[in-house]
Amino acid sequence: MERTARARGGGPDGGLCAGRVVAVTGAGRGLGRAHALAYAAEGARVVVNDLGVGLDGSPAADSPAAQVVREIEAAGGTAVAHGGDIATGAGAASLVDTALDAFGRLDTLVNNAGFLRDRMLVNLADDDWDAVLRVHLTGHFLPLRQAAAYWRAEAKAGRTVSARVVNTSSGAGLAGSVGQGNYSAAKAGILGLTLVAAAELARYGVQVNAVAPAARTRMTEATFAATMAAPPGGFDAMAPENVSPLVVWLGSGAAGAGVTGRVFEAEGGRITVMEGWRPGPSVDKAGRWTPAAVGGAVHDLLTRTEPSRPVYGA
């Protein structure tokens, strides 16, 4: 574990996150890096987590977390690098411990770490299924559980808690994505976890939301290379930095009471509140259906529903 804490402040005085301590997982590159830099620019002291692995989860030689720490420090901010595996209990515990040891507190957790092992379902190996769910879904759950235990203890000790969690889902979790059954399932699971955490942790002063970003990162550049290339000039709609302002606001004290249990899509300059599963057309026979009768009723209901959102790649 690398620690390079500094005594000075976390960035500009009066920033949106001045005084807050923020941990961002998977922050060595892409969206996580953009989030870490944006939080630091708004005055936060940042724990930059990154295991330093390749896109498929294999070990890499460099330390991207330390590089991001240096970027933050060069801009006058404060950060500490954490290289632990947050998809393990020990790694998640050390993430929170790093924040407490370096800065004395933790206010915001941004769960962002992930990687891909894409296969069509009939070719998807057990190990590839397990690995992607482990990093994305378990890698959200374990840091969340560890941080929640800290915040609960603070609340029970009578100290005011104004904590925030921002989870990272995906359009694949909202609509599915061909060739990404493991990734889509993990990202959909994160949405369910977000709703439960928001309900359970509200009593302790914790607000939990999720974002489903669309941006150019290592995980998306191969899939969307033709449509996501940076333009020669003007607004780059696919830059990961476009997503960070929403993530920073959700992780700040400015996201007041009631902003919890929500899912937001973010792409370019567009922010959308996703409304999730809600009851649609319904029919009640007031008795037991026969299979044949069910078919007619279901066909009728489907004529009165909104079309399903297309699966990516279908």
Strands 263-267 and 21-24: unpaired
Residue pair 144/113 in contact by the 8 Å Cβ criterion: no
58 noted as active-site residue = no
177 noted as active-site residue = no
Please give the Cα distance from 218 to 259 (Å, whole number).
Answer: 30
156 noted as active-site residue = no
Q: Which of 170, 177, 244, 252 is catalytic?
A: 170
Phi (first) and psi of residue 40, to 5 degrees: -60, -40
Q: Which of 183, 244, 252, 312 is catalytic?
A: 183
Q: How far is CA 90 from CA 10, 94, 97, 229, 250, in A?
A: 27, 6, 10, 39, 27
Residue pair 313/120 in contact by the 8 Å Cβ criterion: no
Please give the Cα distance from 282 to 270 (Å, whole number).
Answer: 33
Q: Which of 39, 150, 177, 187 is catalytic?
A: 187
Please give the Cα distance from 5 to 102 (Å, whole number).
Answer: 6
Residue pair 9/73 in contact by the 8 Å Cβ criterion: no
Residues annotated catalytic, as ranges: 170, 183, 187
